[in-house]
Amino acid sequence: MMRQFYIFVLTLLGFWGLLLGFSVKAEETDQPAFDAPAQHAIAIEVSTGKILYEKDSQALTGVSSITKLLTAYLVYEALEADKIKMDTPVTISNYAYNLTFDTSIPNVPLDARSYTVEQLLNAMLVASSNSATIALAEEIGGTEPKFVDKMLAKLEEWGITDAKLVNATGLPNNLLGGNIYPDSASTDENMMSARTVAIIARRLLQDFPQITDISSQISMTWNGQPVPNWNYLLEGAAFSRTGVNGLITGTSLAYGSSLVASGKENDMSVITVILNADNSDTDSSARFTTSHSLLDYISENYYLVTLLKKGQAYDKSSVAVLNGKSKTLSAVAKSDLNVVQKAGDENTKARFESDKTTYEAPVTKQEKIGKLTFQDEGYLDSPPSVTMVAQTTVERSIFFKVWWNTFVTWVNEEL
């Protein structure tokens, strides 16, 4: 009887052990998904446009000084078109000058009433100076409202139509007195989505990467005095993170504190957008710690890989050749095809599409014959692709073979 009791106890303990084992296993594998402590967030890889993380990223919200990224794009565009130069002197209007006396907003003194484009651009991107931003907008647009029209036109060119802009700075209209955008209200301020901000930042870095020469400065000198950068993720700042090289912060009474950061994680060029960080009304460091946690998540989960190297063929990427000394021709990558992979979920699928069903010889080496596209989802626009070119030259066959092929084709099509 005692022996049976021992067997029963051991069996019961084994049963509970199994249950506990299953419980531990479930607890180990069923990890909660990452949730950035912010109202709106998105992270992308710049070269591919791959979305690495997003949270309510398409809802409109106040973006405050984040607006200045779009203003900066139009400044660099004007520089590229030679409409202005870095040493072009800009006269400071009464509107911009008088705003410098408002101590509630970021600014630098503009007592000289004339500064170069380069000086004002530095003041805008490092010190987030609102008066410097207005001066640049007036120089390029003639007036700030006309510059805002240019901003909206640029967004529409990029396929963005839901943004609401009323000035070049991101300030709430009630601080601008009688200088507000026509038909806008004193309670209005600029509204964009985190996704739109990511698109702007990506365009800026791709088209004008020199912006990081300015935005990476931990401070600047103005009138002989040091002026700190508000982005405390920069190297040497309070919340420094290795690899971060910009871009800009934003603060709004109505919409909290925000930060757009660019930098390197696992050899990827990354942009993170944090809009209205949680608890930013009581914690001035919220946007920086939130950005750190998002960058940690990216670093732990994503990496960049070369799916196809320059000169390599992919699987059966070949085309048929008519009247050539060879009946087929391999297509190879014109350049490297780099893609973002998620750890534990590697994807190597790609699709080759030729420009023609059949190519007529001769076909020359490096001639474009198609495109290879990575089969993946979750991008700002479309998955990465690479141009595929002829691996070798295929010369035209002898006359009689060409004649016979032409005759056979005619018979099949006409008879």
Cα→Cα distances 350→43, 236, 335, 355, 388, Å: 24, 42, 15, 16, 12
Residue 257 appears among annotated catalytic residues: no
- Listed residue (105, 45, 65, 71) closest to 211, CA to CA: 71
Q: Which residues of 257-285 are buried (b: 16+ CB within 10 A; e: fewer)?
A: bbbbbbbebbebbbbbbbbbbbebeeeee
Q: How is residue 56 written in tokens?
A: 């309510």
Residue 65 appears among annotated catalytic residues: yes
- Listed residue (150, 252, 165, 160) closest to 199, CA to CA: 160
Give 300's DSSP letter. H
Q: Is 4 exposed, middle or buried (0-12, 13-18, 19+ CB in 10 A)?
A: exposed
Separation of alpha carbons 120 and 123, rounded Å: 5
Separation of alpha carbons 260 and 248, rounded Å: 5
Question: Cis omega (within 30 of 0) on the bond before 247?
Answer: yes
Catalytic residue among 50, 55, 57, 68: 68
Catalytic residue among 50, 57, 64, 65: 65
- Listed residue (138, 167, 158, 146) closest to 64, CA to CA: 167
Separation of alpha carbons 298 and 45, rounded Å: 10
Separation of alpha carbons 406 and 415, rounded Å: 14
The one-letter code for the residue type at 189 is E
Q: How is residue 84 written in tokens?
A: 């202005």
**Cβ contact 246:272 at 8 Å:** no
Q: How many other C-beta atoms lie within 10 A of the C-beta of residue 250?
A: 27
Residue 114 appears among annotated catalytic residues: no
Long-range contacts of range 256-261, CB-CB < 8 Å, 24 or more positions apart? Answer: 256/39, 256/280, 256/281, 257/284, 257/286, 257/287, 258/63, 258/64, 258/66, 258/287, 259/231, 259/233, 259/287, 259/288, 259/290, 259/291, 260/66, 260/69, 260/197, 260/201, 261/231, 261/233, 261/291, 261/295
Catalytic residues: 65, 68, 128
